[in-house]
Structure 1
């Protein structure tokens, strides 16, 4: 057996010839051998964008109410431990190694992908942890994702857009069907997309899920300093503004409140608990401000829908100087549509390739940007770290630097920031 978390991560990455292999049969076999049955409530969260924010709000709200809460999310930025949390605290290396050992002993000759292995290990850890409620973020799609092994007590699908089309299909209808695979008969199914695909609605109704859609079955309304959530005759008023930046976060927060109300009889909460959770929630890499003069912001926006939300935040935040973008993306994303969404707000592009099989080269990014924004000012660097250094060198005090395009892009800059903090 590997003798450290780092060794385990190298090991599990080599256990399946593909990084992504859709299907639940192999994972279900190992789950059965592990006898992974949850005695606590489970909330699963899928969707194209907004999953991380929704999970973070749910986790914080139930923690504020005094419940013992588990949360499973992906990907991570700096430490694998970020993916597995209990009561807001990351699982330590020893706990994760114990969980990986349990999965390896049960796996036998069954091949598992990195994500499948990690999902089973997280589930095993949560079973040992004596939870009241667990929030699990779906990794890819829904219907065939490893998280969908576990039957939820409430399932959420946030916004739906074109992403991972090689696996989920090339239309919102096909993607909506895959996302709706996390719904179950007779349980609350919350949808945060204001124009949900017909396939999602049909699948939910065919199952007999208790579908509740934002804008149709529940809604939110802004007041002067607070906001209100409405569902039929029920109104929760005086709700705190979410600590996460962006008007779109109110749609995510409205879905979160819908979950809390659907589970209120089993996990009672007060409005004060909800407000405390909304006020105290934190989530790295979602329009996260990490420095001043120049203003520096990290955002993982990596598809057109997320890029439009980023553009909205950039427009609303008034700055007196230029905006410099540190930009790198994966090749299999819709890079042109992302550039179109944000180009009106970018004065200087500092670009780099991502040194991964799926990474887009700097040359490809430069060509794409030039085609979509012919007058773009471009600076090409060998890697993201150097692109960030270039942006910092060029930026004046009143300028703004936005780092975006991928979790990998943001993670590279986070490492620079951590190094700068530790070295003074």
Structure 2
């Protein structure tokens, strides 16, 4: 029986008893039955924050260099097709359905989660697409993430911070070990965290990976106009800043250039192609400032590390009379830690329910806001909404043209605002 893409996704959401089921045994067994392997270099990107930006810069630069590029990233905002890209374009429903059918044939009686099944399908699609390079974004952690059934030629770990504590642990050392699980013997492992946990360094050494550390093996410097990259054996000077906004983008960009340096014999990239790729890169929902007034910022900051970066980026924007925040979050996130960074930046909060059982309710978010002291000043307000679309429309109706609206938290919060804008 043939199914549409939407029918497949609905089926996969219901089929496996757990949404997250850590471990690689089942995925590896199906991978082997599929004969899944790559004939081109594979770059794998993990980390707590910065994965999406790093993947987007890699894709943009390599496309500028004329390569056929495949990208698997997640989650999506509006359409599942966003997760699978070939040459900068989302894959079609037909391509995805064909890949789903191949996984279904190979899995036999092996039960797979939604994420495991779709990961295998997209990896199959990219393996069959006669590409020059494949970029794979890790989902949760690294060591036990379904993407890790693929062996990467270069692995990148961006930042290590506290997130997904129920699965990865509650210290940077424990999380660093999980992230380092994507490293491979004899292959380059890039880490752009300026203070990596010792567990990551130790695991790289034990694995036999060739570890490139920021500040030791590669670095950057610059002024307000341009910046320079320095690696083990390659320098790139007079680079323009990436078009992605934010305080950490040069850390991400330097990790990208380290990975490309490691692959320079297989995927040579010229100086102008790097410059063009950095200038042309786009990525929705990562300190994305929309055109027009009031200023509208979309950011998927959902943990304290990302919230600190968002707060810093907001400070760098200049004066706005009032800041409205549309905020929704999963309940298992460190919401108190997020509010500690964002509480002082916001005048009017519009907190929202999200359409998942594990999401915090708007009332729970209001309670945390009150407990945090973020509403202690008389003119500060909080309103509760049943959907991010409703909250976003309310913010737009209230904000003056010189104010700003920040939509942040879960991907579902930002996706709701995107849907509301698309419906206008």
Q: Residue 338 of structure 2 corresponds to which residue in structure 1? A: 338
Q: Residue 246 of structure 1 corresponds to which residue in structure 2? A: 246
Listed one character per residue, the Cα deviations across residues 42-86 of structure 1 (whole Å, up to 9, x for unaligned) are 000000000000000001111110000000000000000000000
SS in 1 for 2:15: coil
Listed one character per residue, the Cα deviations across residues 182-207 of structure 1 (whole Å, up to 9, x for unaligned) are 00111110001111001000000111
Listed one character per residue, the Cα deviations across residues 373-420 of structure 1 (whole Å, up to 9, x for unaligned) are 241421122221111122112101100000001100000110111111
1:409 equivalent in alignment to 2:416:
no
Unaligned regions of 5+ residues in structure 2, if any? Answer: none
Instruction: Tell me the distance in 1 between the aligned counterparts of 2:39 and 2:230.
Output: 31
Runs of 4+ in 1 over 6 A off after TM superposition: none
Equivalent residues of 2:70, 2:133 under 8 A apart: yes
Q: Residue 404 of structure 2 corresponds to which residue in structure 1? A: 400
Match of 1:388 among 372, 388, 392: 392
Q: Residue 201 of structure 1 corresponds to which residue in structure 2? A: 201
Q: Residue 292 of structure 2 corresponds to which residue in structure 1? A: 292
How many residues in Structure 1 have an aligned counterpart in Structure 2?
A: 420
Q: Residue 418 of structure 1 corresponds to which residue in structure 2? A: 422
Q: Residue 118 of structure 1 corresponds to which residue in structure 2? A: 118
* 1:200-349 → structure 2 map (5 Å cutoff): 200-232=200-232, 234-349=234-349
User: TM-score, normalized by length of structure 2?
Assistant: 0.97
Instruction: Tell me the distance in 2 between the aligned counterparts of 1:281 and 1:308.
Output: 23
Aligned CA-pair RMSD: 1.1
Instruction: Tell me the distance in 1 between the aligned counterparts of 2:234 and 2:65.
Output: 21
Question: How far is 1:103 from its partner?
Answer: 0.4
Question: How far is 1:290 from its partner?
Answer: 2.3
After alignment, is 163-172 or 282-291 more displaced?
Answer: 282-291
Question: How far is 1:233 from its partner?
Answer: 6.5
Instruction: Tell me the distance in 1 between the aligned counterparts of 2:381 and 2:215.
Output: 41
Unaligned regions of 5+ residues in structure 1, if any? Answer: none
SS in 1 for 2:350: strand
Q: Residue 40 of structure 1 corresponds to which residue in structure 2? A: 40
After alignment, is 137-146 or 6-15 more displaced?
Answer: 6-15
Q: Residue 12 of structure 2 corresponds to which residue in structure 1? A: 12
Question: How far is 1:11 from its partner?
Answer: 1.2
Equivalent residues of 1:353, 1:382 under 8 A apart: yes
Equivalent residues of 1:300, 1:407 under 8 A apart: yes
Question: How far is 1:223 from its partner?
Answer: 2.8
Equivalent residues of 2:352, 2:391 under 8 A apart: yes
SS in 2 for 1:14: helix
1:176 equivalent in alignment to 2:176:
yes
Equivalent residues of 1:2, 1:8 under 8 A apart: no
Equivalent residues of 1:319, 1:400 under 8 A apart: no
Question: How far is 1:225 from its partner?
Answer: 1.2
Question: How far is 1:232 from its partner?
Answer: 5.0
Question: How far is 1:240 from its partner?
Answer: 1.5
SS in 1 for 2:85: strand
* 1:149-168 → structure 2 map (5 Å cutoff): 149-168=149-168
Listed one character per residue, the Cα deviations across residues 11-52 of structure 1 (whole Å, up to 9, x for unaligned) are 122221001111111011111111111111100000000000
Distance 1:233 1:92, change over 3 A: closer
Question: How far is 1:345 from its partner?
Answer: 1.1
Equivalent residues of 2:231, 2:261 under 8 A apart: no
Q: Residue 129 of structure 1 corresponds to which residue in structure 2? A: 129
Equivalent residues of 2:234, 2:261 under 8 A apart: no
SS in 1 for 2:283: coil
Instruction: Tell me the distance in 2 between the aligned counterparts of 1:232 and 1:40.
Output: 24
Equivalent residues of 2:393, 2:420 under 8 A apart: no
Instruction: Tell me the distance in 2 between the aligned counterparts of 1:355 and 1:77.
Output: 14
After alignment, is 286-295 or 253-262 more displaced?
Answer: 286-295
Instruction: Tell me the distance in 2 between the aligned counterparts of 1:235 and 1:3.
Output: 51
Equivalent residues of 1:291, 1:297 under 8 A apart: no
Instruction: Tell me the distance in 1 between the aligned counterparts of 2:91 and 2:129.
Output: 10
Equivalent residues of 1:157, 1:191 under 8 A apart: yes
Instruction: Tell me the distance in 2 between the aligned counterparts of 1:234 and 1:304.
Output: 34
